[in-house]
Structure 1
Amino acid sequence: MKLIECPRDAMQGLVHFVPTDLKIRYLNALLQVGFDTLDFGSFVSSKAIPQMRDTADVLAGLHLFKTKTKLLAIVANVRGAEQAIAYEQINYVGFPLSVSETFQQRNTNKSIEQAFAELAEIQNLCLRSKKELVVYLSMGFGNPYGDPYSPDLIGEFTARLSQIGINIVAPSDTVGTSTPESIGHLFRRLIPAFPQIEFGAHLHARPGEAPDKVRAAVRAGVQRVDGALRGFGGCPMAADALTGNLPTEEIIDTLVSEKIPVAINQEAFQKALTLSAGVF
């Protein structure tokens, strides 16, 4: 099981700017826990996401010589991808592709078809630089705009992504609309249909909902789950202020209850959990 820790997703909507040195301390603590991947920052417009304007400076302060955790950075266009791939330390480039036309425009100021065209360019950049492109299918469990949605639509998007060589796809519950039933149904449909793709679950939840959502995903065969310590963050577009990322501590407890091995350093995890209170 791969645990993906997402402090970038947790921080990006904060009103107050988290000082660069504090970001570095927090991320260095997370790098000692044993997560498979750390979604640490983004190369996007500082006007759109001012919290992430110091990503390059943060990266320079990370202690990567004592960790096996890989780094992921989010981009929203080709320009951002060009910035990200310039850093040898970054392993994964993440791109948010929405199955909702309305949200694609709101989130990246482009249409779905324009996003697919950029994705093809970004994939070529990643292949040349030996990076792995991760595509997040936002609004992957429905949307509040009345735009078309169905598991078939997710399958169609996944097929197009597979055609350009994308190997990691994460349906994302952007506004917390998923249920354990819809999670299980979607992944039981996708995983057998696309055996060449590694599917992740990027889910959001209200307090108390995370364990059932995690259980549904892993029982359907998901081997890659995103979370954030204490459930901080979530999409700024969420209508419900209580809808946040899945708390990593609840993900771990649920995996343990499902008899799924979790290889993390508990002492380092507790130190990072304590530090997170000061960050947020």
Structure 2
Amino acid sequence: MKKNITITEVVTRDGLQIEPMIVETEYKISMVKRLIESGIKRIEVTSFVHPKYVPQMSDAEAVMKGLTDRPEDVALCTLALNERGVERAITAGTDEINFTFSASETHNQKNARRSVAESLNNINSLIRRAEEVKLPVNIGIATSFGCPFEGIYKTERILELVRQLTDMGVQSVLLADTTGMAHPRQIRETCSQVLDQFPEIKLQLHLHNTRGMGAANVLAGIEAGVTHFDSSLAGIGGCPFAPGASGNICTEDVVHMLELMGYETGIDIDKMILAARDLEKKLNKQLPGQVMKAGKSVDLHSIDWQPAAR
């Protein structure tokens, strides 16, 4: 029996937020629809944040308005950081609100202008508002495996934060390797301990391929029992508030790997490759994805193939 792996596509939120080129609303809407046609069932579409700090997300309401006819089995998730963002997300018709804070005091100050304790208090009140309108909530812990300002953490630091979240009634937690500092053993050990101590939560991983360990970290997460992962089409994205935070793990690369290994994602890899190539043309630069360049491992070539003349 194949094991199911759930992918949350984040290209229109975490993917585009760091891009200098402002992508028009219509393209974002068409991209989300294309992802849905490819079999993606969970998409982090946008974030309701101040456009001064993340200009790419200034059209959040317009993007959501263009997706009101989405299939019932597709969840459109959005990110919010404060009360104003939550109200905007509710009005826009989000299916799930994602809140986030950082395990790092330094990164949290740069990202949210709050201490970690202040962010937790804020999140507690935001959760209560989401409960009033019966919206599912997911809490992301940024820099869960290390911070470029503070170094790599011991697992106990994350376990304590997860405990505080579960005490608030949180049932879905995402551990984010925001700057790609994690290694497979760290991923496996941290996730195993979290799931052992908090078996009732849905644990997700948000991984980056900043230092080339993204795919290995996915497999380490699966070994620990994680079945939900964030990824970005063509591998674009990164946190604008941390140095060197480039490169989410690439959706089509991860799906290609998992399907070859016998896992089931429900995603059409061929459609994703075409979407990734289209995005590369749109952004007018080479993107990190590998399968979009090389093709699938099962794609064969004619024996008459010859290398291009130099």
Q: TM-score range by the shorter chain?
A: over 0.9
Q: Which residue of 1 aligns with 2:113?
A: 109
Cα distance in 2 between the residues matched to 1:278 and 1:23: 14
Q: Could you tell me which of 18, 41, 45 is aligned with 1:40?
A: 45
Secondary structure, aligned partner of 2:144: coil
Q: CA deviation at 1:209?
A: 2.7
Q: Which residue of 2 aligns with 1:262?
A: 265
1:125 maps onto 2:129 in alignment = yes
Q: Report if the CA contact (8 A) 2:214-2:249 is conserved.
A: yes
Q: CA deviation at 1:105?
A: 0.8
TM-score when normalising by structure 1: 0.93
Q: CA deviation at 1:33?
A: 1.8
Q: Could you tell me which of 170, 179, 185 is aligned with 2:183?
A: 179
Q: Which residue of 2 aligns with 1:85?
A: 90
Cα distance in 2 between the residues matched to 1:112 and 1:208: 29
Q: Could you tell me which of 144, 155, 174 is aligned with 2:159?
A: 155
Cα distance in 2 between the residues matched to 1:101 and 1:147: 12
Larger radius of gyration: 2
Deviation sequence 1:15-73 (CA, Å, 0-9, x none):
11111111111121112222231011010011011110001011111263446220111
61-70 or 121-130, which deviates more: 61-70
1:206 maps onto 2:225 in alignment = no
Q: Which residue of 2 aligns with 1:22?
A: 27
Q: Which residue of 1 aligns with 2:292?
A: none
Q: Report if the CA contact (8 A) 2:145-2:152 is conserved.
A: no
22-31 or 57-66, which deviates more: 57-66
> Stretches of 4+ moved more than 4 A in 1?
none
Taking the TM superposition and a 5 Å limit, the aligned residue runs for 1:164-175 are 164-175=168-179
Q: Which residue of 1 aligns with 2:303?
A: none
Q: Report if the CA contact (8 A) 1:96-1:137 is conserved.
A: yes
Q: Which residue of 2 aligns with 1:76?
A: 81
Q: Which residue of 1 aligns with 2:139?
A: 135
Letter in 1 for 2:20: V
TM-score when normalising by structure 2: 0.85
Deviation sequence 1:111-163 (CA, Å, 0-9, x none):
11111111111111111111111111111001122278321110000000001
Letter in 2 for 1:36: K
Cα distance in 2 between the residues matched to 1:144 and 1:150: 15
- Can you give the 5+ residue segments of structure 1 that lack an aligned partner in the other structure? none
Q: Report if the CA contact (8 A) 1:101-1:112 is conserved.
A: yes
Q: Report if the CA contact (8 A) 2:179-2:210 is conserved.
A: no
- Can you give the 5+ residue segments of structure 2 that lack an aligned partner in the other structure? 284-310
252-261 or 94-103, which deviates more: 252-261
Secondary structure, aligned partner of 2:19: coil
How many residue pairs get aligned? The number is: 278
Secondary structure, aligned partner of 2:281: helix
Deviation sequence 1:89-126 (CA, Å, 0-9, x none):
x1111111111111111001111111111111111111
Cα distance in 2 between the residues matched to 1:13 and 1:69: 25
Letter in 2 for 1:258: M
65-74 or 153-162, which deviates more: 65-74
